[in-house]
């Protein structure tokens, strides 16, 4: 029996997101039906509305979600009805080459529910990143669920599905920042702020935040930046160097992803430093660097896919840090909104908007 729910759908490219009736099937083998409690609004949702994703329209938006398991399909062992779960779009298949080598965060054979959610006329929907969290219920693959402690608020748990993990992981996993290191983060949107917060948890000694917006720099200080560079007034590379003893940082995270910021990141790192590209660049972006400068600095230039994040490892770890008061997930939360407000939130995001996450409560 299909479940009739309210959900946020985009019918065609660029069309406004609207709340519609959607049919969600009962879970088949390996699938889980989740009653969504909350779902954060992310820039990726806006991108799916504006340009589409890798699946056709109509699209079911939302992917930073948490909720309660309502039913499970045959063979599901990881979760059971009434479990509280965070949903993820990154999954590990366990059998591809990356997984077999123990690099589960590099898995590209992601798991999704097979049965389609549809409009009432039977038109199949493409859930964003296989989640479709702006819905009263959604259908996902078992591997997309991580069971979590019900003492955690769902609005907090949902945050761990995307942007916070991308930033935290860019600093900690991809960049490898650790005790005594210095780090600079260029661009203090949600991902950049999470990189700052992650570096603090990891024990970085100096954390330099760079942005052209003073309000974002104030936020970065709240998240743990030990120094800030206002790039509307000071050259980012000079600013980072002056706050790192004239040397540059051990790790530089580019959370903007333009040729200009990437070049800044490359020149703001110390000898043997690591540059982490943590934002998806525009397809046409190119950067030219003297190879002598790349070689002469040693170290490495790395790209971070969603923070090299592994949900089964990282969701419980971050929630523990949160419950111990060492990682303030609540500080990433913006306003709480309803399903009907998603289009307004996306519109605001399009014009810069707030750094903190608006979250839909069901
Ligand atoms: Zn795999
Ligand atoms: Zn996202």
Instruction: Write down the domain spans for the chain.
Output: 3-161+328-361, 167-306
Q: How far is Cα 205 from Cα 179, in angstroms, rounded to an integer?
A: 7
User: How far does residue 308's CA lie from ligand 1's centre (Å)?
Assistant: 13
> So what's the architecture of 3-161+328-361 in CATH?
Alpha-Beta Complex (3.90)
Structure tokens at 345: 């939130």
User: How far does residue 334's CA lie from ligand 1's centre (Å)?
Assistant: 34
Across all residues in the chain, what is the average pLDDT? 95
* Residue-wise pLDDT tens digits, 294-304: 999 999 999 99
Q: How far is Cα 81 from Cα 210, in angstroms, rounded to an integer?
A: 45
User: How far does residue 193's CA lie from ligand 2's centre (Å)?
Assistant: 15
The count of C-alpha atoms lying within 13 angstroms of the C-alpha of 312, restricted to the half-sphere facing its C-beta, is 11
Q: Which ligand is nearest to the CA of 143?
A: 1
Structure tokens at 44: 């990726």
User: How far does residue 243's CA lie from ligand 2's centre (Å)?
Assistant: 31
pLDDT at 255 over 70: yes
Q: How far is Cα 102 from Cα 125, in angstroms, rounded to an integer?
A: 34
User: How far does residue 294's CA lie from ligand 1's centre (Å)?
Assistant: 32
User: How far does residue 309's CA lie from ligand 1's centre (Å)?
Assistant: 13
What homologous superfamily is domain 167-306 in, according to CATH? NAD(P)-binding Rossmann-like Domain (3.40.50.720)
Closest CA to 129 of 65, 204, 196, 213: 65
pLDDT at 352: 67
Q: Which ligand is nearest to the CA of 104?
A: 1
User: How far does residue 84's CA lie from ligand 2's centre (Å)?
Assistant: 20
pLDDT at 52 over 90: no
Which residues crowd ion ligand 1, with CB under 5 Å?
93, 96, 99, 107, 109
Q: Please, what sign has the CA dihedral across residues 202, 40, 333, 16? A: positive
What number is the average pLDDT over the span 233-259?
97
Structure confidence at residue 51 as a pLDDT band (50, 70, 90): confident
* Residue-wise pLDDT tens digits, 80-100: 999 999 999 889 888 999 999
* Residue-wise pLDDT tens digits, 109-151: 888 999 999 999 999 999 999 999 999 999 999 999 999 999 9
pLDDT at 207 over 70: yes
H or E element: which one contains 84?
strand 84-87
């Amino acid at each position: 029996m299909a479940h009739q729910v309210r959900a946020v759908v985009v019918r065609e490219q660029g069309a406004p997101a609207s709340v519609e009736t959607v049919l969600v099937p009962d879970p088949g083998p390996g699938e889980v039906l989740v009653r969504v409690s909350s779902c954060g609004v992310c820039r990726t949702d806006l991108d799916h509305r504006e340009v589409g994703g890798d699946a056709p329209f109509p699209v079911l938006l939302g992917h930073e979600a948490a909720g309660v398991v309502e039913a499970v399909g045959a063979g599901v062992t990881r979760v059971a009805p009434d479990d509280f779960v965070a949903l993820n779009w990154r999954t590990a298949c366990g059998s591809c080459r990356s997984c077999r080598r123990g690099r589960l965060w590099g898995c590209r054979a992601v798991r999704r529910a097979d049965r389609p959610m549809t409009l009432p006329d039977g038109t199949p929907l493409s859930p964003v990143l296989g989640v479709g969290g702006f819905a009263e219920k959604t259908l996902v693959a078992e591997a997309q669920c991580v069971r979590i402690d019900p003492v955690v608020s769902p609005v907090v748990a949902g945050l761990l599905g995307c942007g916070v993990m991308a930033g935290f992981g860019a600093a900690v996993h991809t960049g490898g920042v650790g005790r005594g290191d210095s780090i600079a983060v260029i661009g203090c949107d949600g991902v950049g702020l999470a990189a700052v917060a992650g570096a603090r948890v990891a024990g970085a000694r100096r954390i330099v935040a760079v942005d052209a917006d003073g309000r974002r720099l104030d936020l970065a200080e709240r998240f743990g930046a030990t120094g800030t560079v206002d790039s509307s007034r000071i050259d980012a590379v000079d600013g980072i160097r002056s706050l790192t003893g004239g040397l540059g940082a051990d790790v530089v995270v580019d959370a903007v992803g333009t040729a200009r910021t990437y070049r800044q990141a490359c020149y703001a790192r110390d000898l043997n430093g690591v540059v982490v590209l943590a934002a998806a660049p525009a397809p046409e972006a190119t950067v030219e660097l003297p190879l002598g400068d790349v070689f002469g600095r040693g170290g490495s230039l790395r790209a971070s896919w969603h923070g090299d994040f592994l949900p089964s490892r990282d969701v419980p770890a971050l929630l523990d840090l949160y419950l111990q008061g060492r990682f303030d997930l609540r500080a990433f939360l913006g306003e709480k909104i309803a399903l009907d407000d998603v289009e307004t939130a996306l519109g605001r995001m399009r014009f810069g908007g707030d750094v903190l996450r608006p979250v839909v409560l069901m």
